[in-house]
Structure 1
Amino acid sequence: MTLRVRLPVVVGIDVGSTNTKVVALTADGAVVARASRPTRRAGADLAVDAAALVLAIEDMVVEVCGDSRVIHALCVAGIGEDGVLVDGRLRPLTPALAWFDPRRHAVFEALRPDLVDDHTFDVDTDPVRSLVGWRWARAQPGTERAAAWIALTDLPAVAWTGRAFLSDTLAPRTAAWRSGERAWAHDRVAVSLGDQNLLPPVVPTGEVVGEIVSPALRAAGVMAADAIAVAGGHDHPIGGWGVQLMVPGAVLDSMGTAEVVVAQSSSARRRGDDHVDVAPGIRASGSTLLLVEELARNVQWASRDAEVGRAIRHLLIGRSAPLPLWESGWFVPGQRGGGQPSYAPDAPVDPRVRASAVLGALAVAGRDAVDAVRRDVGGTAEVRMAGGWVRSPGWIALKAAVNGAPAVPILEPEVTAVGAALLAATARGWSPDPVDALGGFVSGMLG
């Protein structure tokens, strides 16, 4: 009997707010398998069941390997702010409070008077940040046994290697870490987490954190003997890093629940008054630049009016053309952190007019976000678009009209998961072709 030789692959994982995705990538850059499942919630709660999430990821990893592939490296990217307290055996003691959970606002308001503000942090201080989750977690029962706080995105690799760590693209999302000094703000940690010893070492995204010792993955027979876990981190920077491998110097405009614009800058940038978030560069000196604008929430708000919602759908699918109202000021988008959308008092009530004003205003916000980010990368960097919204032809046409330039979409639907796989491959010493990796096809589908 001839034993079948398994194909060597790396695996990239994207822990999203709604779904978690897994892709397997070959050494030359072909995506050969995919899997996706809803991100596990704690019952009817918005919080994430962290232990169940790790088990689900392990199941998907085994699924993409089947009986024909073997993993040489794994890397996890994903949600930026969520995390859990764990015990001495790295088992979660709490659920992960979702970054969009409404409970964060009350926790933040109670915490805000104790937060000394300055401009040395990498992100704005608001209810989204991890330090709010720290304060909430310490109030949960059973946390007196806590040995560490682990970011939800890092948790699978922590569990697989037995090594606690925090990826350096996630550390800034806490609003208690200064990337320039690579140091924690002791006062902020004290009033939110309480004990800085609960914070694991911060390691560079893309660094090997250890060999995989997971009994579950080893028992499944899908791991190479020397398989490694690679530090991933924040989803959008990792997706942007992958896109920049394909188009050097490019800016990624990723459009899903939010519109996130990201780029790699060769200079070490400090956060200014333009609300551009800053994180360390990935596998390079310099900085990762990030700007987030609300997208889906504004459309959902406008769609409460059924006729406006229908008009928006028709514009997005290209059934009707938008009116050129993007500079009308008739719609004011809600901003990140909970600001309520609104119409201007003089906005007409005609559904097509309102739909055009809504989508036009959102396209302008995206354009301005791109302009703010690419000032630091030369001002004329190419832009590539990704995310679920690129499948809406009317939206792509509107973006092109507002931007005054062609809207160029990326075909690959899972840019972050593929970016994580490219990180894993690079750490393994492989040199996959990023153009093949981000081309949007599973090997074997053509021909």
Structure 2
Amino acid sequence: MGTSPQRADAVLGIDIGSTNVKVVALDSAGHVVTRVRRATPRSVDDPSIDAARLFECLEEMAVEACGERYAIAALCAAGIGEDGILADASLTPLTSALAWFDPRRTELFDELRHHLDPADDVGTSTDAARTLVGWAWARHQPGADRAATWLALTDYAACRWSGTAFLSDTLAARTGAWRPRARTWHTSRVHATLGTADLLPTVMPTGTVVGDVRSERLRNAGVLRPGALVVAGGHDHPVGGWGVHQLRPGAILDSMGTAEVVVAQTPAPPSHVPEAVDVSPGIHNTFGATVLHVEELARNVAWASRDPAVADALDRLISGNATPDDHLFSDTFHPGAAGGHTPFYAPRSASDPHSRASAVLGALARRGGLAVAAVQALTEPDAPVYTAGGWARSRGWLDIKQAVTGTAARVIAEPEVTAVGAALLAARALGWKPSVTAALNAGAEAGPRGAAAGR
């Protein structure tokens, strides 16, 4: 079935998240014309993702996003950083994708860590969430002996659509075994986990054209332009941050959802990187870098919300229906950090639920402010900060952030920043020059904006 000439060209941006998969269609002017969201398909008995089911889901969503009006001129997928699969020569999955948060990873990492050579040039910390732990798990699964390649879950659909096995460089940077500056593998780490570097596909820079879209389903549905392009996406936060970077070079994205992730593009790799800041390749910048800092957010709120009275106070403060007290500026709540460390209240902390909620949110706002400062120090002192994500739509939370840090952020109203960033990468590959302001709906001035209930 051919593509109707009545259909307008659009690019698709895909965000493969741990909870949901999102697809947006962007027209050549930069307007988001359709959105589709579905739950991420997972196995019934564990949190692993079946890559074949995910691919089928993405094809269905692509058809739905195009509807009767649009045809795909290019597409690009970004998403989960560490999950992946082993596949055979036809790119058929042989294993499921061990989730980055799967509790089995902790035990695996404890067994593995003593066999890993030290590496201070892999751009990220070495912990249970890294891809190399998934490599060690996958090589012992049934069917692993028939593997021809390892593929990142986020790149899998693009590999299938293009018929090319590849790995986006911003995802290579999440493995714990890739040297971003040298663009080479840490071979001893690869051998200790995956067993052989022969299973690793070609690493491609995010934003590279991989090939043409080859999909019988999309073609038969009449939604595929001849010569439609597959563009390498990669890790979700760098791709979203790159989109914001198009608004203003050097801008910082403070994305607040399950975690608070602060990310920016830098013109050159930083000479000194603070602890807890990850570094991956720059996007469309051969000599640049992406810097990224992650802080726990939702987990700390969930811990404090075990007390129903504190949970109610938190909801009212976050929504802007209550005003925090002076405990906002106290140090009586200690947030949990990466690695599963449990939050706790200091012995002298107030017992009043409103005061406890104020202390929790004040501590989280300070942590986020320090994360922004760490990234800002690697970009430029006056780099503007844009905020996005569910929490960015909560008026009370933005007021608290500004009160604690003394800094207001520009709010991006677009709810799917990563998917739009991927769509902008696809548009760039076509030579389009869409309005980034329109695409991200980023016309808001600095300061708190938006409605309540963004958690």
TM-score, normalized by length of structure 2?
0.94
Distance 2:145 2:271 in 1: 37
Q: How does 1:311-322 map to 2 (within 5 A)?
A: 311-322=313-324
C-alpha distance after superposition, 1:106-160 (max 9, x if no partner): 0110101011223212001111100011111112111111111100100000011
* 2:248 equivalent in structure 1: 247
Distance 1:94 1:54 in 2: 14
Distance 1:116 1:361 in 2: 36
* 1:360 equivalent in structure 2: 362
Cα root mean square deviation, aligned:
1.3
* 1:304 equivalent in structure 2: 306
Asked whether 1:25 is paired with 2:26, we answer: yes
Q: Residue 413 of structure 1 contacts residue 440 of structure 1 at CA under 8 Å; is this kept in 2?
A: no
Partner of 1:384: helix, strand, or coil? Answer: strand
Q: Which amino acid is the alignment partner of residue 305 of structure 2?
A: S
Q: Residue 411 of structure 2 contacts residue 442 of structure 2 at CA under 8 Å; is this kept in 1?
A: no
Larger mean Cα displacement after TM superposition, 246-255 or 381-390: 246-255
Partner of 1:96: helix, strand, or coil? Answer: coil
* 1:380 equivalent in structure 2: 382
Larger mean Cα displacement after TM superposition, 399-408 or 378-387: 399-408
* 1:100 equivalent in structure 2: 101
* 1:390 equivalent in structure 2: 392
* 1:10 equivalent in structure 2: 11
Partner of 1:430: helix, strand, or coil? Answer: coil
Q: Which amino acid is the alignment partner of residue 37 of structure 1?
A: R
Q: Which amino acid is the alignment partner of residue 352 of structure 2?
A: D
* 1:329 equivalent in structure 2: 331
Q: How does 1:212-291 map to 2 (within 5 A)?
A: 212-269=213-270, 272-284=273-285, 285-291=287-293
Asked whether 1:350 is paired with 2:379, we answer: no
Q: Which amino acid is the alignment partner of residue 172 of structure 2?
A: A
Distance 2:144 2:99 in 1: 18
Q: Percent sequence identity over matched residues?
A: 55
* 1:145 equivalent in structure 2: 146
Larger mean Cα displacement after TM superposition, 191-200 or 315-324: 315-324
Q: Which amino acid is the alignment partner of residue 69 of structure 1?
A: Y
Distance 1:210 1:322, change over 3 A: same
Distance 1:271 1:131, change over 3 A: farther
Q: Which amino acid is the alignment partner of residue 134 of structure 1?
A: W
Distance 1:384 1:435 in 2: 12
Q: Residue 4 of structure 1 contacts residue 68 of structure 1 at CA under 8 Å; is this kept in 2?
A: no
Distance 1:236 1:220 in 2: 32
Q: Which amino acid is the alignment partner of residue 122 of structure 2?
A: F
Distance 1:171 1:270, change over 3 A: farther
Partner of 1:378: helix, strand, or coil? Answer: coil
Distance 2:142 2:325 in 1: 54
Q: Which amino acid is the alignment partner of residue 191 of structure 2?
A: A
Asked whether 1:197 is paired with 2:216, we answer: no
Q: Residue 245 of structure 1 contacts residue 434 of structure 1 at CA under 8 Å; is this kept in 2?
A: yes
Partner of 1:29: helix, strand, or coil? Answer: coil
Q: Which amino acid is the alignment partner of residue 127 of structure 2?
A: D
Q: CA deviation at 1:327?
A: 4.1
Larger mean Cα displacement after TM superposition, 303-312 or 365-374: 303-312
Q: Which amino acid is the alignment partner of residue 178 of structure 1?
A: R
Distance 1:273 1:248, change over 3 A: closer
Asked whether 1:42 is paired with 2:43, we answer: yes
- Give the unaligned 5+ runs of structure 2: 444-455
Distance 1:378 1:372 in 2: 11
Distance 1:147 1:231, change over 3 A: same
* 1:73 equivalent in structure 2: 74
Asked whether 1:339 is paired with 2:341, we answer: yes
Distance 2:54 2:326 in 1: 45
Distance 1:364 1:409 in 2: 19
Distance 1:130 1:72 in 2: 32
Q: Which amino acid is the alignment partner of residue 20 of structure 2?
A: N
Q: How many residues align?
A: 439
Q: Residue 257 of structure 2 contacts residue 390 of structure 2 at CA under 8 Å; is this kept in 1?
A: yes
Distance 1:235 1:84 in 2: 18
Distance 2:254 2:206 in 1: 21
Q: Residue 15 of structure 1 contacts residue 21 of structure 1 at CA under 8 Å; is this kept in 2?
A: yes
